[in-house]
Amino acid sequence: MRTEVAIVGAGPAGLLLSHLLGLAGIESVVVETRSQAHVAARIRAGILEHGSVEVLTDAGLGARLRAEGHRHRGIYLQWPHERHHLDFVALTGRGVWVYGQTELQKDLVAARTAPVFYEVAGTRLHELTSDRPYLTWTAPDGTAQRLDAEVVAGCDGSFGPSRAAVPAGERRTFERTYPYSWLGILAGVAPSTDELIYAWHPNGFALHSMRTPAVSRLYLQVPAGTDPSDWPDERVWSELALRLGDGERGWRLTPGPITDKSVLPMRSLVQAPMRYGRLFLAGDAAHIVPPTGAKGLNLAVADAALLARALTAALRERRWDLADAYSRTALRRAWRSTHFSWWMTTMLHATGDPFDAELQLSQLRWVTSSRAGATGLAENYAGLPLAP
């Protein structure tokens, strides 16, 4: 087989890149290790920045998002006995949208025109420093496959083969692992809040989010290595009620049936550069952020939009200037998002150190009482403009 762009990974970054390239008349083929059902069912991010919604709308992918998603003006920041609303629209003119990654994945699958090969095994990337790179893999029926291309896009997440295809001497990896995780639950109950609640508590951080008017998404800070079975449903709801301030100021947390329970490790990782020869990395293949700042999915959208423009110029106009600048431009955004995610994480997660606790409370009071502090959080959360 031959195509112009070989894409490794059929998650949001890979399918969006394929879609954007298709709009520009550029052929692509996507290969994915997992099954289509597995990729579609992954419960991940649920917040889209203002700029991400613009990218999706311009690409013809915004109809269901705008009909079924929920636009939020801001978030609540909370600590014991206090809750403050930050109105992003009033501060910056930009809000965010609640729209689950599973829903965006459905939109991308429905809109796809390029071939996608699922459940492939042993994907390898070859001749990346030549002008004729190619992929090899084994199909589900056991046959060996080869795909020749002009460019390879690695959109296969943090554990795929693309990142590792960059030789050790050609890459730098920056990583931080946090000493806590998130216990995430999906509950079949209407959200108890109109917008997300980020809560600092001595027992640990808690977040009240949502997926639909009938489905709530909630998180609790737990020690790294926690087993979800250590948290029966009754314990989950009891701790959420405590950390979220159930009963304070007349607000009530409504419990309901828990349909999914999992533990999410917290880490930051950036690999640089995001290009090696004809290989370009995008999304989680290049960077991982803790979910506190709601940046992972949005970085994937930004990378795909930036890379699509660069490859369109390279393959249609034979101008490689945007491709040459891709890594540098994408990394600036990745590091800004990494810093913001670190800042939100360290402000809100309990460490057990009284000194840290007083610093965190001081920071929360400043952010919620200073227009400058609130605007800084709002600018980063709602999303900086996409690079030209």
Cis omega before residue 223 (within 30°)? no
232 in active site: no
Identified catalytic residue from 191, 291, 326, 349: 291
Identified catalytic residue from 12, 19, 50, 72: 72
291 in active site: yes
72 in active site: yes
295 in active site: yes
The Cα 235–Cα 227 span in angstroms is: 13
Identified catalytic residue from 99, 134, 276, 381: 381
Identified catalytic residue from 76, 134, 178, 198: 198
The Cα 335–Cα 345 span in angstroms is: 15
Picking from 88, 23, 10, the residue whose alpha carbon sits closest to that of residue 49 is: 88
Identified catalytic residue from 191, 295, 326, 349: 295
Distances (CA, A) of 254 to 148, 210, 263, 288, 290: 54, 13, 22, 32, 27
Give the 3-state DSSP-derived string for the chain, with helices as H, strands as E and coil as C. Answer: CECCEEEECCCHHHHHHHHHHHHCCCCEEEECCCCHHHHHHCCCCCEECHHHHHHHHHCCCCHHHHHHCEEECEEEEEECCEEEEEEHHHHHCCCEEECCHHHHHHHHHHHCCCCEECCCEEEEEECCCCCCCEEEEECCCCCEEEEECCEEEECCCCCCHHHHCCCHHHCEEEEEEEEEEEEEEEECCCCCCCCCEEECCCCCCEEEEEEECCEEEEEEEEECCCCHHHCCHHHHHHHHHHHHCCCHHHCCCCCCCEEEEEEEEEEEEEEECCEECCEEECHHHCEECCHHHCCHHHHHHHHHHHHHHHHHHHHHCCCCHHHHHHHHHHHHHHHHHHHHHHHHHHHHCCCCCHHHHHHHHHHHHHHHHCHHHHHHHHHHHHCCCCCC
Give me the active site residues, please: 72, 198, 291, 295, 381
